[in-house]
Amino acid sequence: MIGAYIMISATPGSINTIVKELRNIEQIENVSVITGEYDIVVRVTVDNIQYLADITDRINTIKGVSKTHTHVIMRELRA
């Protein structure tokens, strides 16, 4: 299993619509609208690195997404 944080930039005015669409992707555990260079961060868990590209592709087809930036999790401690 490979986890990742995917940062998403939205075109102006489309954040709320994107957030709704992201809820339909089951590999996404958490959706946060954040301050900073990117507008939204999601946490995903997938079976392998090739499948991570599929999820990124799927997010990129959502209307209003202008850019994604993936950070692969190499090690993790959860509370």
Give the binding site for a second copy (CB under 8 A).
2-5, 9, 12-13, 15-16, 19, 22-23, 28-38, 41, 49-50, 52-53, 56-57, 60-62, 65-79
- CB of residue 65 to a second copy, shortest distance in Å: 5
CA pair distance 71, 24, nearest whole angstrom: 21
Q: What are phi and psi of 55, to 5 degrees?
A: -65, -45
- CB of residue 76 to a second copy, shortest distance in Å: 5
Q: What are phi and psi of 11, to 5 degrees?
A: -70, 150
- CB of residue 6 to a second copy, shortest distance in Å: 9
CA pair distance 48, 35, nearest whole angstrom: 30
